[in-house]
Amino acid sequence: MPVNLSIKNVPDDVDSRLRNRAVENQRSLQEELLIILKNAAEGHDPVSIDNLMEAQRNKPAFDEATSKVQAKKKVEQEQAARRFEDLLG
């Protein structure tokens, strides 16, 4: 079942370019926008739970990323402490 979409706050220059494009292609603005949307959606698989789960598995967990940052900070602090000790010497 088709749906109606609405785009708010389109900048004037974008509106003008889209209208010019529609005129150049001898189409209404509505037809031009629909073609643009169809082209943008082409080749994209439907979203499924399996696809989302797979994408999530491929991302590092927040805790893993946090651990990496904390480990790096710890190494930097240890290096700074050693430099300080060397200065005190």
Give 10-22 pLDDT, tens digit per residue: 999 999 999 999 9
Nearest 10 degrees: Cα torsion 27, 33, 38, 36 = 90
pLDDT reading at 84 higher than 70: yes
pTM: 0.53
Angle at 49 between CA 47 and CA 55, to 5 degrees: 80
Residue 82: what residue type?
R
pLDDT at 40: 93
Instruction: Give alpha helix (H) positions in the chain.
Output: 12-24, 29-41, 49-57, 62-88
